[in-house]
């Protein structure tokens, strides 16, 4: 679909909101991204299989894939949809996890390593949780929070299927975690409006994506990030991410929480462009009002996505 056709299918308030934040060229690219048919993507679950084994099984099934420069365990499937993968042994045995490329970014940015205490504040259904378990290996200890009982059950199922035995599920609202807890690394993939994941063909789009949802999301995001900063150990790091491309859910939340928490100057932003060498990554980026943060543009390969990394110095 062309830009004008896609724009007409979007909620009335969205295009003006995008134009307040982005120039016309980026607004047009975003809207065109909302109309793109996204390719299926997945990652090898290195707790149960290596990349080469997964690649061989996909090829044997006639499924073609491309590598991703910034993450060697990721695959872009170029000739099949998700349904074609469901019957493969590699999927049924938990050796792969169907996951968007954008949602693979936060665990990579966090830099999970063995021997650390890690908190996943909003964990279900478990894609990022199991990815962190694979990146950190058996030596890392992950606490995964999920307050909704059915979602927590889905999370537990995925952890078991993926062989992520180093994860403890806590059925708790992460906003209410005791300050007696402390963690070396925290992933806060916060609930959001999903503005980066919108698609023009979604018949429920106008009902799901509303200004009220954005306002509700911001309230939760502020409370969650405040709590994350309280729970972070000296020397620890936190990645804050959303699948939104709206500044009010991203940079604005980050600024407000850091202003409240950083009276003694102990928190600092890590430059993710430099850490992840994003200039050579082929990830399509949108401009951000915080230079160290990253915002991914929606395309046929990526969902719109925001990410920032905070370090506690002391």
Give the three-class secondary structure for 13: coil
The C-alpha atoms of residue 20 and residue 48 are separated, in whole angstroms, by 46
Give the three-class secondary structure for 172: coil
The C-alpha atoms of residue 242 and residue 190 are separated, in whole angstroms, by 6
Of the candidates 10, 11, 28, the residue with the CA atom closest to the CA atom of residue 19: 28
| Peptide bond before residue 125 is cis, with ω within 30 degrees of 0 | yes
CB atoms < 10 A from the CB of 207, how many? Answer: 9
Q: Which residue has the tokens 């018949």?
A: 203
Residue 145: active-site member: no
81's CB contacts (< 8 A; 6+ apart) are 40
> Which of 140, 192, 238, 243 is flagged as catalytic?
243
The alpha carbon dihedral of 42, 48, 51, 56 has a sign of negative
CB atoms < 10 A from the CB of 278, how many? Answer: 17
Of the candidates 33, 29, 42, 31, the residue with the CA atom closest to the CA atom of residue 78: 42
Tokens coding 182:
């402390």
- CA distances to 148, 165, 175, 191 from 249, rounded to whole Å, are 22, 33, 17, 10
8 A C-beta contact, residue 84 and residue 65:
no
Which residues are the active-site residues? 243
């Amino acid at each position: 679909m062309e830009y004008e056709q896609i724009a007409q299918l979007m909620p009335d308030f969205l295009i003006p909101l995008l134009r307040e934040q982005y120039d016309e060229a980026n607004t047009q690219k975003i809207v065109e991204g909302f109309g793109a048919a996204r390719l299926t993507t997945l990652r090898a679950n290195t707790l149960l299989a290596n990349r080469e084994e997964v690649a061989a099984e996909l090829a044997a099934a006639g499924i073609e894939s491309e590598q991703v420069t910034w993450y060697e365990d990721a695959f872009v499937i170029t000739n099949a949809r998700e349904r074609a993968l469901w019957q493969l042994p590699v999927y049924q045995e938990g050796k792969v996890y169907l996951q968007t490329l954008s949602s693979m970014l936060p665990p990579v940015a966090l830099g999970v390593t063995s021997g650390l205490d890690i908190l996943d504040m909003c964990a279900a259904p478990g894609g990022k949780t199991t990815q962190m378990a694979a990146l950190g290996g058996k030596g890392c200890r992950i606490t995964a929070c999920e307050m909704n009982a059915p979602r927590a059950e889905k999370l537990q199922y995925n952890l078991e299927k993926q062989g992520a035995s180093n994860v403890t599920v806590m059925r708790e609202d992460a906003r209410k975690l005791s300050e007696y807890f402390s963690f070396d690394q925290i992933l806060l993939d916060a609930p959001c409006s999903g503005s980066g994941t919108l698609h023009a063909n979604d018949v429920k789009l106008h009902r799901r994506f509303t200004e009220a949802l954005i306002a509700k999301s911001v309230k939760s995001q502020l409370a969650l990030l405040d709590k994350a900063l309280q729970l972070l150990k000296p020397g620890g790091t936190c990645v804050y991410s959303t699948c939104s491309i709206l500044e009010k859910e991203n940079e604005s939340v980050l600024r407000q929480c850091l202003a409240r928490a950083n009276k003694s100057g102990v928190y600092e932003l890590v430059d993710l462009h430099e850490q992840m060498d994003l200039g050579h990554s082929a990830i399509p980026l949108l401009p951000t009002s915080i230079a160290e943060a990253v915002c991914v543009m929606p395309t046929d390969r990526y969902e719109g996505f925001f990410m920032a990394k905070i370090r506690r110095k002391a």
